[in-house]
Amino acid sequence: MLVSCPPVSDRDRELREEIERRLLALSGRLSTSSVGRLGRAALAALRGGRVTRRLGRGGDVALGLDDLAAFVSSVGQLKGMAMKAGQLMSYLDLPLPPEVQSALAALQTHSPPMPFERIAGIVTAELGQNAGPLLAHMEPQPAAAASIGQVHRARLPDGTDVAVKVQVPGVERAIAADFRSAAVGTSFVGLLVPGASVDAIVREARRAVLDECDYAREARYQERLASIYGGHSTLTVPAVVQPYSSRRVLTTAWAAGLSFDAFLATSPRQADRDRVGAALFEFYLGSLFRHGLFNWDPHPGNYIVQHDGRVAMLDHGSTRELDRGFVRKLAALALAVHADEREALRQAILDLGLVRDGEARDLETARALIRSFHGPMLRDEVLAFELGVATPFRTIASMKREVLRLHLPGEMLFVFRIRFGLMSVLARLGARANWCRLERQYAEDALDPPGGP
């Protein structure tokens, strides 16, 4: 089955470029108080509602550009959780007007930037004597500005081109303030797993997002992933430059290439789409099963397609590490659901604690959920995912009542997140593969690692 993703229209592309220009023209000053952020969030929601109503009435998007730009700009100025939610909504397979998703896609790499003087001050405070050589050849205009930090291109004294990510001052306080609002926390989790609004999962989401503010932690994971994928034929992870890195500044080798949307705009051959798709699938799911490491934020702003055909994975703040025993339980679940072996699946569900007891009704609910969760990956054939048809987010969103009956461990939040996001990206990419066999191989590797334990 060949399913091509719908091309981005010229009007959508122009809309996104205009919104990116407006975002860059705004002030990057961040509100960190709970009251201030709630007020700004309410304004963003009001503007979003206005846009949705206008589109729902069949209004002309060109005439509604100011409303749409004001909405996205409001989200971008909040940074933190609001911007992360906007990034999610920009690429998950949600029932949103395509114009809104195109506009929100600007948030994958753009937000109101901090003035360069503030950037220089943070770099100096963090790096001390190493700041001068870095700042001497740093471009004032950011290459990207996202929910927690912004990236500038620079050159080291030895001529090496590097990317310098600098954290937005006060963003940790802003995120903590966001999560003090129960509505914000449950709404964000609802974008990850519909219906999963239990306190434990909200707390896990809060911890995970705050972890992203620790660039020293991110550097450690990036170094491990760079080692794992060193010499890989289709994946690369830029090296960390430790002397120019700290908790709030992360310097890595510069990676040049095309953004996800720019790659799609070249109308790539099917073979190139398939190669990129298989690389993303291996990074997000293969890393989980084989190494217990995974990045739970597969949004298209986190990787680029390089000119040699490899995919460079750029952002690793969302990387998590799972206990090897938990990974083996996930692998057993994956293999059981692929085979649809009732007894093995029942045991895997109980081992993961997805149900609190062995009641037949809850076990059957969990089985139906897990099979929906895997969706078309259970089909042993070469295929492409279909937007709006077979992605698990839409299926599970219709099962909210059933989801609430289950006991989802906090770690499952991120496993769901990877699958929802990855399927949506692969659907847009139009990549074809036997995803069933690929996942099965990764799961088998988790239970019987190549070369032994």
Q: What is the pLDDT of residue 291?
A: 95
d(CA 149, CA 132): 20
What is the torsional sign of CA 308, 314, 316, 319?
negative
Q: Are residues 227 and 308 in the same domain?
A: no
pLDDT at residue 53 greater than cutoff 60: no
Q: How many Cβ atoms sit within 10 Å of the Cβ of residue 438?
A: 16
Q: Are residues 244 and 347 in the same domain?
A: no
Q: What is the pLDDT of residue 390?
A: 47
User: CB–CB of 194/397 below 8 Å?
Assistant: yes
Neighbour-count burial for 109-147, b at 16+ CB within 10 Å, e otherwise: bbbbbbeeeebbebbbebbeebbebbbeebeeebebbbb
For 23-50, the DSSP string reads HHHS------SHHHHHHHHHHHHHHHHH
Per the structure block, which two tokens stand in for 393? 């987010």
d(CA 384, CA 373): 16
Q: Rounded to two decimals, what is the model's pTM?
A: 0.81
d(CA 91, CA 324): 31
If you average pLDDT over every residue of the chain, what do you get?
79
- Position 82 in a domain: yes
Q: What is the pLDDT of residue 93?
A: 65
- Position 328 in a domain: yes
Average the pLDDT over 396-402 and give the result: 59
CA atoms within 13 A on the CB side of 360: 0
- Position 362 in a domain: yes
- Position 193 in a domain: no
Burial class (CB in 10 A: 0-12, 13-18, 19+), 66: exposed
- Position 202 in a domain: no
SS3 at position 118: helix
Identify the domain containing residue 235 by its residue range: 112-145+148-180+212-254
Q: Are residues 96 and 126 in the same domain?
A: no
Q: Are residues 77 and 120 in the same domain?
A: no
Instruction: Give the rounded percent of residues in the chain with a pLDDT score beyond 90.
Output: 41
Q: Kindly report, residue by residue over 325-378, the tens digit of the pLDDT.
A: 999 999 999 999 999 888 898 899 888 887 766 666 677 777 877 887 787 889
Count how many domains the chain has: 3
User: CB–CB of 206/185 below 8 Å?
Assistant: yes
